[in-house]
Amino acid sequence: MTTKLLEQAIDKVRELPDDEQEAVAAVMLQMAGADASLVRLDDETRAAIREGTAQAERDEFVPDEVVAEANKRRGL
């Protein structure tokens, strides 16, 4: 049985672009305790993760203003 709230959340996620749906799905699997190896990543995503990790190691982060604007666009 699926709760009404979960159904509403899934419906909302289905409205997002594919890449954002993938990100939400990965978080849901992690939160549910699923094996992370079940989340398939394509080469482009793996490269983006490696680049993001390298940027973080160099202390290169997105400016707060950019994050705030992105949050604003998403109603956060």
Q: Considering the entire predicted model, what is its pTM?
A: 0.43
DSSP label at residue 44? H
Q: Are 24 and 16 in contact (CB under 8 A)?
A: yes
Cα(74)–Cα(47) distance, integer angstroms: 26
Distances (CA, A) of 31 to 43, 47, 63: 24, 24, 28
Q: Going residue by residue through the chain (76 aa), what tens digit of pLDDT does each one get?
A: 678 888 999 999 999 988 888 888 888 888 887 665 666 788 998 899 899 889 888 989 888 898 899 889 988 8
What's the pLDDT at 75?
A: 87
